[in-house]
Amino acid sequence: MLLGLAAIWGASFMFIKVAVREISPATLIAGRLGLAALTLALLLPFTVGMRDTARQLLASWRWLVVVALVNTALPFWLLSWGETRIDSGLASIIQAAVPIFNALIAFVAFREVRVTGSRLVGVGVGFVGVALLVGAQPEGKMLGALAIVGMAFCYGLGGLLAGRHLTPAKPIVVAFATTAISTVVALPAAVIQAPSEAPGWKTIGSVVVLGVPGTALAYLLFFGLITGAGAAYASLVTYLIPPIALAYGAVFLDERFGAAAFGGLALILAGVALGTGVPLRGYFTRGVRGKPAAAGPRPTDR
Protein backbone atom coordinates (compact mmCIF):
# COMPACT_ATOMS: atom_id res chain seq x y z
CA MET A 1 0.00 0.00 0.00
CA LEU A 2 2.83 2.39 0.84
CA LEU A 3 4.50 2.01 -2.54
CA GLY A 4 1.12 2.29 -4.28
CA LEU A 5 0.37 5.55 -2.49
CA ALA A 6 3.83 6.93 -3.31
CA ALA A 7 3.36 5.95 -6.96
CA ILE A 8 0.00 7.76 -7.12
CA TRP A 9 1.18 10.93 -5.39
CA GLY A 10 4.51 10.89 -7.22
CA ALA A 11 2.65 10.81 -10.53
CA SER A 12 0.54 13.80 -9.52
CA PHE A 13 3.38 16.20 -10.30
CA MET A 14 3.67 14.81 -13.83
CA PHE A 15 -0.07 15.04 -14.49
CA ILE A 16 -0.17 18.62 -13.17
CA LYS A 17 2.65 19.53 -15.55
CA VAL A 18 0.71 18.03 -18.47
CA ALA A 19 -2.57 19.70 -17.52
CA VAL A 20 -1.27 23.26 -17.04
CA ARG A 21 0.03 23.28 -20.60
CA GLU A 22 -3.56 23.81 -21.79
CA ILE A 23 -5.62 25.00 -18.82
CA SER A 24 -5.07 27.54 -16.06
CA PRO A 25 -4.15 26.47 -12.53
CA ALA A 26 -7.57 27.62 -11.27
CA THR A 27 -9.40 25.54 -13.87
CA LEU A 28 -7.21 22.56 -13.05
CA ILE A 29 -7.79 22.65 -9.30
CA ALA A 30 -11.53 23.25 -9.67
CA GLY A 31 -11.81 20.18 -11.88
CA ARG A 32 -9.48 18.08 -9.76
CA LEU A 33 -11.04 18.96 -6.42
CA GLY A 34 -14.57 18.81 -7.79
CA LEU A 35 -14.02 15.24 -8.95
CA ALA A 36 -12.40 14.35 -5.63
CA ALA A 37 -15.28 15.84 -3.64
CA LEU A 38 -17.83 13.98 -5.77
CA THR A 39 -15.99 10.68 -5.33
CA LEU A 40 -15.74 11.12 -1.57
CA ALA A 41 -19.41 12.15 -1.37
CA LEU A 42 -20.39 8.86 -3.01
CA LEU A 43 -18.33 6.95 -0.44
CA LEU A 44 -19.54 8.79 2.68
CA PRO A 45 -22.89 6.93 3.05
CA PHE A 46 -21.04 3.61 3.16
CA THR A 47 -18.18 4.67 5.43
CA VAL A 48 -19.59 7.22 7.90
CA GLY A 49 -23.30 7.59 7.21
CA MET A 50 -25.13 10.74 6.24
CA ARG A 51 -26.37 11.57 9.73
CA ASP A 52 -22.92 11.36 11.31
CA THR A 53 -21.42 13.24 8.37
CA ALA A 54 -23.88 16.11 8.79
CA ARG A 55 -23.26 16.22 12.54
CA GLN A 56 -19.49 16.40 12.11
CA LEU A 57 -19.74 19.05 9.39
CA LEU A 58 -21.96 21.27 11.54
CA ALA A 59 -19.75 20.85 14.60
CA SER A 60 -16.52 21.83 12.81
CA TRP A 61 -17.61 23.96 9.87
CA ARG A 62 -15.59 27.07 10.81
CA TRP A 63 -12.28 25.25 11.02
CA LEU A 64 -13.14 23.15 7.99
CA VAL A 65 -13.36 26.38 6.00
CA VAL A 66 -10.03 27.62 7.38
CA VAL A 67 -8.25 24.33 6.75
CA ALA A 68 -9.78 24.08 3.27
CA LEU A 69 -8.30 27.45 2.34
CA VAL A 70 -4.91 26.95 3.99
CA ASN A 71 -4.38 23.24 3.37
CA THR A 72 -6.10 22.68 0.02
CA ALA A 73 -7.22 25.66 -2.10
CA LEU A 74 -4.14 27.86 -1.75
CA PRO A 75 -1.41 25.16 -1.87
CA PHE A 76 -3.08 23.38 -4.80
CA TRP A 77 -3.07 26.65 -6.73
CA LEU A 78 0.54 27.44 -5.76
CA LEU A 79 1.67 23.99 -6.88
CA SER A 80 -0.17 24.18 -10.19
CA TRP A 81 1.04 27.72 -10.88
CA GLY A 82 4.59 26.84 -9.87
CA GLU A 83 4.64 23.95 -12.33
CA THR A 84 3.93 26.35 -15.17
CA ARG A 85 7.48 27.61 -14.54
CA ILE A 86 9.56 24.73 -13.15
CA ASP A 87 9.90 20.99 -13.82
CA SER A 88 7.59 18.54 -12.07
CA GLY A 89 10.51 16.67 -10.50
CA LEU A 90 11.92 19.83 -8.94
CA ALA A 91 8.48 20.66 -7.52
CA SER A 92 8.33 17.21 -5.91
CA ILE A 93 11.72 17.75 -4.26
CA ILE A 94 10.74 21.10 -2.74
CA GLN A 95 7.41 19.75 -1.48
CA ALA A 96 9.33 17.15 0.53
CA ALA A 97 10.18 20.03 2.88
CA VAL A 98 6.60 20.10 4.23
CA PRO A 99 7.61 18.38 7.52
CA ILE A 100 10.39 20.94 7.94
CA PHE A 101 7.88 23.80 7.78
CA ASN A 102 5.58 21.79 10.03
CA ALA A 103 8.30 21.54 12.66
CA LEU A 104 9.24 25.23 12.36
CA ILE A 105 5.65 26.47 12.65
CA ALA A 106 5.05 24.12 15.58
CA PHE A 107 8.12 25.54 17.35
CA VAL A 108 6.76 29.07 17.00
CA ALA A 109 3.02 28.64 17.58
CA PHE A 110 2.01 25.06 18.50
CA ARG A 111 3.56 24.20 21.85
CA GLU A 112 1.78 20.87 22.12
CA VAL A 113 3.71 19.41 19.17
CA ARG A 114 6.87 21.54 19.35
CA VAL A 115 10.19 19.99 18.44
CA THR A 116 13.21 20.94 20.52
CA GLY A 117 16.88 20.16 20.99
CA SER A 118 18.68 18.20 18.32
CA ARG A 119 15.61 18.04 16.10
CA LEU A 120 15.98 21.74 15.44
CA VAL A 121 19.25 20.87 13.70
CA GLY A 122 17.18 18.86 11.22
CA VAL A 123 15.01 21.91 10.54
CA GLY A 124 18.15 23.90 9.74
CA VAL A 125 19.54 21.19 7.47
CA GLY A 126 16.25 20.99 5.60
CA PHE A 127 16.14 24.73 5.06
CA VAL A 128 19.66 24.66 3.66
CA GLY A 129 18.41 22.14 1.11
CA VAL A 130 15.43 24.34 0.17
CA ALA A 131 17.67 27.40 -0.13
CA LEU A 132 20.09 25.46 -2.34
CA LEU A 133 17.30 24.42 -4.69
CA VAL A 134 15.66 27.84 -4.92
CA GLY A 135 18.97 29.68 -5.22
CA ALA A 136 20.11 27.41 -8.05
CA GLN A 137 17.15 28.39 -10.24
CA PRO A 138 17.61 30.85 -13.09
CA GLU A 139 15.78 34.14 -12.77
CA GLY A 140 12.83 33.03 -14.88
CA LYS A 141 12.15 30.03 -12.66
CA MET A 142 12.74 31.61 -9.26
CA LEU A 143 9.10 32.60 -8.71
CA GLY A 144 7.93 29.11 -9.62
CA ALA A 145 10.26 27.57 -7.04
CA LEU A 146 9.15 30.08 -4.41
CA ALA A 147 5.51 29.19 -5.15
CA ILE A 148 6.28 25.56 -4.27
CA VAL A 149 7.99 26.75 -1.08
CA GLY A 150 4.79 28.66 -0.29
CA MET A 151 2.81 25.48 -0.92
CA ALA A 152 5.02 23.57 1.54
CA PHE A 153 4.49 26.30 4.16
CA CYS A 154 0.70 26.12 3.67
CA TYR A 155 0.69 22.36 4.08
CA GLY A 156 2.81 22.63 7.22
CA LEU A 157 0.43 25.16 8.78
CA GLY A 158 -2.71 23.42 7.53
CA GLY A 159 -1.68 20.09 9.00
CA LEU A 160 -1.13 21.65 12.41
CA LEU A 161 -4.46 23.47 12.31
CA ALA A 162 -6.25 20.27 11.34
CA GLY A 163 -4.51 18.35 14.11
CA ARG A 164 -5.53 20.92 16.71
CA HIS A 165 -9.10 21.69 15.62
CA LEU A 166 -10.45 18.86 13.46
CA THR A 167 -9.63 15.68 15.35
CA PRO A 168 -13.31 15.09 16.32
CA ALA A 169 -14.22 14.74 12.62
CA LYS A 170 -13.37 11.56 10.75
CA PRO A 171 -10.64 11.88 8.10
CA ILE A 172 -12.92 11.15 5.14
CA VAL A 173 -15.34 13.86 6.35
CA VAL A 174 -12.47 16.34 6.57
CA ALA A 175 -11.24 15.30 3.12
CA PHE A 176 -14.71 15.69 1.61
CA ALA A 177 -15.41 19.05 3.24
CA THR A 178 -12.05 20.59 2.38
CA THR A 179 -12.17 19.46 -1.26
CA ALA A 180 -15.78 20.61 -1.65
CA ILE A 181 -15.15 24.04 -0.08
CA SER A 182 -12.00 24.52 -2.15
CA THR A 183 -13.91 23.67 -5.32
CA VAL A 184 -16.43 26.41 -4.57
CA VAL A 185 -13.61 28.89 -3.86
CA ALA A 186 -11.79 28.06 -7.11
CA LEU A 187 -14.86 27.89 -9.33
CA PRO A 188 -15.27 31.61 -10.22
CA ALA A 189 -11.65 31.96 -11.37
CA ALA A 190 -11.87 28.58 -13.10
CA VAL A 191 -14.85 29.70 -15.16
CA ILE A 192 -13.27 33.04 -16.05
CA GLN A 193 -10.00 31.40 -17.09
CA ALA A 194 -11.54 28.39 -18.80
CA PRO A 195 -10.10 27.69 -22.27
CA SER A 196 -12.12 28.86 -25.26
CA GLU A 197 -11.78 25.43 -26.86
CA ALA A 198 -12.10 21.99 -25.35
CA PRO A 199 -8.70 20.76 -24.12
CA GLY A 200 -7.12 17.63 -25.52
CA TRP A 201 -7.59 14.14 -24.15
CA LYS A 202 -4.26 14.21 -22.32
CA THR A 203 -5.35 17.26 -20.33
CA ILE A 204 -8.80 15.88 -19.57
CA GLY A 205 -7.33 12.53 -18.59
CA SER A 206 -4.79 14.24 -16.33
CA VAL A 207 -7.54 16.13 -14.47
CA VAL A 208 -9.55 12.93 -14.00
CA VAL A 209 -6.51 11.00 -12.74
CA LEU A 210 -5.58 13.85 -10.39
CA GLY A 211 -9.11 14.08 -9.01
CA VAL A 212 -10.17 10.46 -8.53
CA PRO A 213 -7.14 8.23 -7.80
CA GLY A 214 -4.74 11.14 -7.20
CA THR A 215 -6.80 12.84 -4.51
CA ALA A 216 -9.90 10.92 -3.36
CA LEU A 217 -8.60 7.35 -3.44
CA ALA A 218 -5.13 8.40 -2.27
CA TYR A 219 -6.70 9.87 0.87
CA LEU A 220 -8.35 6.53 1.59
CA LEU A 221 -5.08 4.64 1.07
CA PHE A 222 -3.21 7.04 3.31
CA PHE A 223 -5.68 6.89 6.16
CA GLY A 224 -5.90 3.12 5.75
CA LEU A 225 -2.13 2.95 6.25
CA ILE A 226 -2.38 5.07 9.38
CA THR A 227 -5.07 2.79 10.79
CA GLY A 228 -3.34 -0.46 9.88
CA ALA A 229 0.38 0.27 10.28
CA GLY A 230 0.62 3.50 12.23
CA ALA A 231 1.25 7.15 11.42
CA ALA A 232 5.04 6.82 11.39
CA TYR A 233 4.98 4.05 8.81
CA ALA A 234 2.48 5.95 6.64
CA SER A 235 4.66 9.05 6.85
CA LEU A 236 7.46 7.26 4.99
CA VAL A 237 5.63 8.20 1.80
CA THR A 238 7.34 11.59 2.26
CA TYR A 239 10.67 9.95 1.43
CA LEU A 240 9.38 7.94 -1.52
CA ILE A 241 7.51 10.61 -3.49
CA PRO A 242 10.48 12.71 -4.76
CA PRO A 243 12.50 9.89 -6.37
CA ILE A 244 9.35 8.44 -7.94
CA ALA A 245 8.31 11.87 -9.26
CA LEU A 246 11.82 12.43 -10.61
CA ALA A 247 11.61 9.11 -12.46
CA TYR A 248 8.23 10.00 -13.95
CA GLY A 249 9.53 13.38 -15.07
CA ALA A 250 12.67 11.94 -16.63
CA VAL A 251 10.91 9.10 -18.46
CA PHE A 252 7.70 10.76 -19.64
CA LEU A 253 8.52 14.49 -19.72
CA ASP A 254 12.20 14.33 -20.66
CA GLU A 255 13.18 16.36 -17.59
CA ARG A 256 16.82 16.45 -16.52
CA PHE A 257 18.22 17.33 -13.11
CA GLY A 258 21.68 18.48 -11.99
CA ALA A 259 23.76 18.14 -8.88
CA ALA A 260 21.90 20.97 -7.10
CA ALA A 261 18.60 19.07 -7.36
CA PHE A 262 19.98 15.85 -5.92
CA GLY A 263 22.02 17.69 -3.31
CA GLY A 264 18.96 19.64 -2.22
CA LEU A 265 16.90 16.44 -2.08
CA ALA A 266 19.49 14.75 0.12
CA LEU A 267 19.60 17.70 2.53
CA ILE A 268 15.80 18.01 2.70
CA LEU A 269 15.26 14.31 3.41
CA ALA A 270 18.08 14.31 5.96
CA GLY A 271 16.46 17.33 7.60
CA VAL A 272 13.08 15.57 7.63
CA ALA A 273 14.60 12.50 9.30
CA LEU A 274 16.47 14.56 11.92
CA GLY A 275 13.77 17.15 12.51
CA THR A 276 10.87 14.72 12.95
CA GLY A 277 12.58 11.75 14.50
CA VAL A 278 11.46 9.35 11.78
CA PRO A 279 14.56 7.64 10.36
CA LEU A 280 14.19 5.39 7.35
CA ARG A 281 15.97 2.37 8.78
CA GLY A 282 13.73 0.03 10.73
CA TYR A 283 10.30 1.35 9.79
CA PHE A 284 9.97 -0.66 6.60
CA THR A 285 10.56 -3.82 8.59
CA ARG A 286 8.77 -2.83 11.80
CA GLY A 287 6.00 -0.67 10.38
CA VAL A 288 3.26 -3.25 9.92
CA ARG A 289 4.13 -5.56 12.79
CA GLY A 290 5.26 -3.04 15.35
CA LYS A 291 2.79 -0.25 14.48
CA PRO A 292 5.06 2.57 15.69
CA ALA A 293 3.09 5.10 17.67
CA ALA A 294 5.16 8.23 17.17
CA ALA A 295 3.71 10.58 14.61
CA GLY A 296 6.06 11.24 11.75
CA PRO A 297 6.16 13.87 9.04
CA ARG A 298 2.79 14.59 7.56
CA PRO A 299 2.73 14.01 3.81
CA THR A 300 1.08 16.56 1.60
CA ASP A 301 -2.57 16.37 0.42
CA ARG A 302 -1.34 16.46 -3.10
pLDDT at 212: 96
Find the mean pLDDT for residues 46-54.
94
What digits encode the pLDDT tens for the residues 254-288? 998 888 888 888 888 888 777 666 555 444 444 44
pLDDT band at 75 (very low <50, low <70, confident <90, very high): very high
Lowest mean pLDDT among 1-15, 77-91, 151-165, 217-231: 217-231
Three-state DSSP string of the chain = CHHHHHHHHHHHHHHHHHHCCCCCHHHHHHHHHHHHHHHHHHHHHHHCCHHHHHHHHHHHHHHHHHHHHHHHHHHHHHHHHHCCCCCHHHHHHHHCCHHHHHHHHHHHHCHHHCCCCCHHHHHHHHHHHHHHHHHCCCHHHHHHHHHHHHHHHHHHHHHHHHHHHCCCCCHHHHHHHHHHHHHHHHHHHHHHCCCCCCCCHHHHHHHHHHHHHHHHHHHHHHHHHHHHHCHHHHCCHHHHHHHHHHHHHHHHCCCCCCHHHHHHHHHHHHHHHHHHCCCCCCHHHHHHHHCCCCCCCCCCCC
Find the mean pLDDT for residues 15-42.
96
pLDDT band at 293 (very low <50, low <70, confident <90, very high): very low
For all residues of the chain together, what is the average pLDDT? 84
